[in-house]
Amino acid sequence: MAKLKLSEIAEKMNGTILQGDASSVFSNFSIDSRGISKGSLFFALQDKRDGHKFIPDAVRNGAKGVVVSKKVPLVDEHTAYIQVDHTLKALQRLSCQVFIQHPVKVIGITGSTGKTTTKEFTAALVSKKLNVLKSQGNYNNHIGLPLSLLKLNKKHQAAVLEYGMSSPGEITDLTRIASPDIAVICNVHPVHMEFFKNIQEIAEAKKEILDGMKPGGTAVLNGDQPLVLGMLKDLKKRPVLFGLTEKCDVRARNIHIHSLEKMSFDLSYKRNIAKTSIPFSNRAYLYNFLAAAGVASLLSVPFKNVLKTGRRLKPFQNRGEVLHLDDNISVINDSYNSNPAALEEALKSLSAQKGGRKIAVLGDMLELGDQQKDYHWASGKSVKDHNIDILITVGPLAKHIAQGASEAGMPSDAIISFENSEQAAQEAPHLLEKDDFVLVKGSRGIHTEKIVDKLKKRGK
């Protein structure tokens, strides 16, 4: 974590100290007045809300300094103040300067789905050889990326960072803050479609991470996706391809799902081949692992460490975690987000389980643009195709999932629809039986985690 004097911070941001001891040191930087750490420097960003209004809260909660871009009353004489032209640009300038002081190998990860999981897997594998900084949670935008870089210190050798976007040009801006040495594209799917005319435009926006690589940088690409492979023609250096097909350098073959928490396969890695496993059953997580292994291969992480670490990976909260309830009921909590491609893989995983009934609790998939109804309808057909026993839909758009399943031939008494997650949370626990497998998945705005919380309390 960077430790900087107030005078250094002001200089790096082209700012002016209005108040405070120039020699005082800061090592924590925040934009959130509520969750701020004691002794932090608070940036009053002007985004959807004006951070200047929350300066008193930030100071009350522990901030010992603030960065402002307009005239505000000083809270007290003990709080340091730095005046800048633009608080967000100042934050980005500061992070760039810290990055220059602590140069590390940057692994940049983007994709329509699985960025955060791939980032976590990559950090786990690479940390077996290098001291790694990874971005927090889903800190993957013009604000989160600079905040991540401000955690760099002289011990770090690599930074594993997410590069997110919802519109063209955003990834380009992120590469100007931290240009990747290794650029990973997990996949291209119809996500954030309200900002794009078609999926080809999404592919072009994801390609910005390749265009923004350092000279001599290497790409790690999904070798099973034509849209990603179409980017090869503009690369000067041979990429590492990952996937399930023969052209891939890092490849999984002979895949077998044993349970919700074990998938075995033969892993090809450089010239090595060995049978191994990861504690997941969803094939999307296999692709995330293969992408991470592709990065590890470039950094010469030993094969035995890749195998060992892969077997010990764990799911993250609301991202495919498996909960075991009374009566041998298993719940796959995948409520962090949803889109058609991710839902398809989740349904395949659910369908592959042996034993009790398969129940899919599916919420609205948001940000799908003009074709959102069609995407939901097609997912309903997929529910029927994967022989799911009971479909529970949550939200107005998810009713089109129910319609698609019904028109595909799913019995009407096997389909239940709720207006929102609160209603579903009250009723869903009563619908479960011994040995059931339950998938809960929906976009963040639908809050399907509320359903999971109620299921955990079932019978108590």
Give pLDDT tens digits for 256-276.
Answer: 999 999 999 999 998 899 999
Single-letter amino acid, residue 421: S
Whether pTM exceeds 0.95: no
User: Could you give the residue ranges of the DSSP H alpha helices within 272-371?
Assistant: 283-298, 303-311, 340-351
For residue 105, the model assigns a pLDDT of 97
pLDDT band at 21 (very low <50, low <70, confident <90, very high): very high
Is pLDDT of 99 > 70? yes
Residues 296 and 327 in one domain: no
Candidate from 57-61, 137-141, 200-204, 261-265 with smallest mean pLDDT: 137-141
The answer to whether residues 35 and 179 belong to one domain is no
* In a shared domain, residues 358 and 441: yes
pLDDT of residue 30: 94
Query: Sign of the CA dihedral 289, 301, 99, 155?
Result: positive
> Which pLDDT does position 317 carry in this prediction?
86
Q: What does the radius of gyration of the chain's CA atoms come to, in whole angstroms? A: 24
Flag whether pLDDT at 293 surpasses 60. yes
End residue of a domain, out of 291, 311, 331: 311
What's the pLDDT score for residue 79? 96
Question: For the domain that residue 425 is a member of, what is the CATH number?
Answer: 3.90.190.20
Whether 316 is covered by a domain: the verdict is: no
- Render pLDDT for 410-427 as a digit per residue (tens, 0 to 9): 999 999 999 999 999 999
Q: Strand, helix or coil at 399?
A: helix
pLDDT the model gives residue 459? 59
Confirm whether 300 is domain-assigned. Answer: yes
Give the residue numbers spanning the domain of 58.
Answer: 4-93
Q: List the structure tokens of 57.
A: 């809260």
**pLDDT, average across residues 18-27:** 95
Count of residues making up the chain = 460
Domain membership flag for residue 210? yes
> Looking at residues 150-167, what average pLDDT do you find?
94
Q: Are residues 355 and 293 in the same domain?
A: no
- Distance between first and last Cα of the chain: 44
Structure tokens at 294: 């592709």
pLDDT at residue 139, rounded to an integer: 81
- pLDDT exceeds 90 at position 437: yes
Number of C-beta neighbours around residue 376 at 10 A: 26
Number of structural domains found in the chain: 3
Phi/psi of residue 22, each to 5°? Answer: -60, -20
In whole angstroms, what separates CA 413 from the centre of its chain? Answer: 36
| Alpha-helix residue ranges (DSSP H) falling in 150-239 | 170-177, 199-206, 208-211, 226-229
In angstroms, how far is CA 18 from the centroid of its own chain? 38
Q: Are 282 and 331 part of one and the same domain?
A: no
Please check the confidence at residue 392 and state whether its pLDDT lies above 90.
yes
Residues 334 and 430 in one domain: yes
Over residues 218-247, mean pLDDT: 96
